[in-house]
């Protein structure tokens, strides 16, 4: 069993997979499509972060690939549906770095409210600029959170503890935490908030979500933050708002086009603007978060290859069947059509195989059944299961 880990995934992931008997190839940067196809020859497990694109062509070409781990929150860089159709589960870390992103957002709100970047730059240039003009406390200020999921809701709680009034907007019906107030529309939130921060997901429909119209709708001298996805925002429009003074400050951690690896050149229309904080996609990049992500996602990959466990898979049915020592486990991905489970069990019964435990789950067009048997499966039984017209992927775990 071999694993390919890209983009400086935390070393703990290598340790956990190696301890499970998996050979690990650990590389620092991202790979493009052609490079990834070549690197995945003979590889069963792939670990990436946000820069590597696992395209449909990569999924189609990776004949040996069993599972994909996204060592981050987002999975929009993975062709999830094509992977599901080939019985390749994808796992991510939806909770591990939420605190890191929350702390960065709050730090940047304070930095912008106090205009610390300008004071820092002046001192580095040898100019002592001690005044209170344009500097504000965040206590009592109105924070507008767009997207109230894991990160947005935690930010809501911590910001309120610092004395901010919290408003949020989400297309889903989310429970308001603390004294946070729900807005019925994005426009309502923009009319109220003095600082607006985006925490929405990377689905295709969100491209260009926040543009010139939204920036012009924001209150004069408001602050803006984007720590979610670069393609959500029209940064040319943000630049114009900053240059005109309508937007008092901006903090951006994500960009439509990002370098593949550390040290590569970078350009943005936001460079050189006053009271603008630019960070290189480091919202979740704390040592604590990366260690936890490394442990969490590597554990999911290990458990899948060892036991067929798909709990928290983002694209396939989530199943966990308790392992009984001595049993042999059969995992079977199939097209989700009526009667497949009956066919599987009929084949097992016809070969005198006793089922000790079994779970079935379906998601969309794909079904997944995990079966434990108390005796080894013979080649004829496996061949019949493999030849079922509905079979997508069959695997035996001893």
Residues with a known catalytic role: 229, 258, 281
SS3 395: strand
Dihedral (CA of 150, 155, 160, 161) sign: positive
Beta strand 90-91 with 67-70: parallel, antiparallel or unpaired? parallel
Contact 59, 86 (CB under 8 A): yes
Across the chain, how many H-helices and E-strands are there?
13, 16
What backbone torsions phi and psi does residue 283 show, to the nearest 5 degrees? Answer: -55, -40
Measured between its terminal Cα atoms, the distance across the chain in Å is 14
HEC string of the chain equals: CEEEECCCCCHHHHHHHHHCCCEEEECCCCCCHHHHHHHCCCCCEEEECCCCCECHHHHHHCCCCCEEEECCCCCCCECHHHHHHCCCCEECCCCCCHHHHHHHHHHHHHHHHCCHHHHHHHHHCCCCCCCCCCCCCCCCCEEEEECCCHHHHHHHHHHHHCCCEEEEECCCCCCCCCCCEECCCHHHHHHHCCEEEECCCCCHHHCCCECHHHHHHCCCCEEEEECCCHHHECHHHHHHHHHHCCEEEEEECCCCCCCCCCCCCCCCCCCCCCCEEECCCCCCCCHHHHHHHHHHHHHHHHHHHHHCCCCCECCCCCCCCCCCCCCEEEEEEEECCCCHHHHHHHHHHHCCCCEEEEEEEEECCEEEEEEEECCCCCHHHHHHHHCCCCEEEEEEEC
């Amino acid at each position: 069993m071999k694993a390919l880990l890209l983009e400086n995934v935390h070393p703990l992931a290598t340790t956990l997979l190696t301890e499970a008997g998996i050979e690990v190839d650990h590389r620092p940067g991202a790979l493009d499509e052609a490079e990834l196809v070549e690197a995945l020859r003979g590889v069963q497990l792939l670990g990436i972060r946000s820069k590597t694109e696992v395209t449909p062509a990569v999924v189609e070409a990776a004949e040996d690939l069993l599972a994909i781990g996204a060592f981050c929150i987002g999975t929009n860089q993975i062709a999830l549906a094509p992977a599901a159709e080939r019985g390749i589960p994808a796992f991510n870390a939806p909770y591990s770095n939420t605190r890191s992103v929350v702390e960065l957002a709050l730090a940047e709100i304070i930095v912008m409210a106090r205009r610390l970047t300008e004071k820092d730059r002046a001192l580095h240039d040898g100019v002592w600029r001690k005044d209170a003009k344009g500097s504000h406390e965040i206590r009592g200020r109105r924070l507008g959170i767009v997207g109230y999921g894991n990160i947005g809701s935690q930010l809501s709680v911590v910001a309120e503890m610092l004395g901010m009034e919290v408003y949020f907007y989400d297309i889903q019906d989310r429970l308001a935490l603390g004294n946070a107030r729900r807005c019925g529309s994005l426009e309502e939130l923009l009319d109220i908030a003095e600082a607006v921060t985006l925490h929405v997901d990377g689905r295709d429909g969100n491209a260009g979500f926040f543009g010139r119209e939204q920036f012009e709708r924001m209150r004069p001298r408001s602050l803006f933050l984007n720590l979610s996805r670069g393609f959500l925002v029209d940064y040319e429009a943000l630049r114009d708002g900053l240059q005109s003074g309508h937007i008092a400050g901006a903090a951006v951690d994500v960009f439509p086009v990002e370098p593949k690896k550390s040290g590569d050149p970078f350009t943005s229309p936001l460079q050189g603007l006053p009271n603008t904080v630019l960070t290189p996609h480091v919202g979740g990049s704390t040592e604590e978060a990366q260690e936890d992500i490394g442990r969490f996602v590597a554990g999911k990959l290990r458990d899948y290859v060892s036991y067929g466990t798909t709990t928290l898979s983002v694209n396939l049915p989530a199943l966990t069947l308790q392992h009984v020592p001595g049993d042999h486990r059969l995992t079977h991905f199939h097209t989700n059509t009526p009667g497949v489970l009956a066919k599987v069990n009929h084949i097992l019964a016809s070969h005198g195989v006793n089922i000790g435990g079994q779970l079935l789950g379906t998601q969309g067009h794909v079904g997944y059944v995990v079966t434990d048997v108390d005796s080894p499966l013979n080649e004829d039984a496996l061949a019949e299961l493999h030849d079922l017209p509905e079979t997508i992927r069959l695997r035996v775990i001893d």
